[in-house]
Amino acid sequence: MEREVLFMEWRGFILSSLERKGCNSKRLLLAICIEFRTNKKYRPTDKGLLKCANDIFEKHLTTQK
């Protein structure tokens, strides 16, 4: 539950950041949400969520090349 609340608090910031970078932001946002909820590697903190978002975005960039 804690992870979901944290994600909802940061959702707008992450979405606007992805849109500024010109990505398919809704698909990436969903990927970030799923990864953050399921992967315990990321701590349920602001920093953990932003690390997760950055990792997903980096994966997205490498697959685009």
**Interval 5-63: pLDDT, tens:** 888 888 888 888 888 887 777 888 899 999 999 999 999 999 999 999 999 999 988 88
Which contacts qualify for 32-38: CB closer than 8 Å, 24 or more apart?
32/7, 32/56, 33/7, 36/3, 36/7, 37/3, 37/4, 37/7
* Residues contacting residue 16 through CB under 8 Å, at least 6 positions apart: none
- State the pLDDT at residue 19: 84
Q: Any idea where the domains of the chain sit in the sequence?
A: 2-64
**Phi, then psi, of 38 in degrees rounded to 5:** -100, -30
State the DSSP code for 40. Answer: T
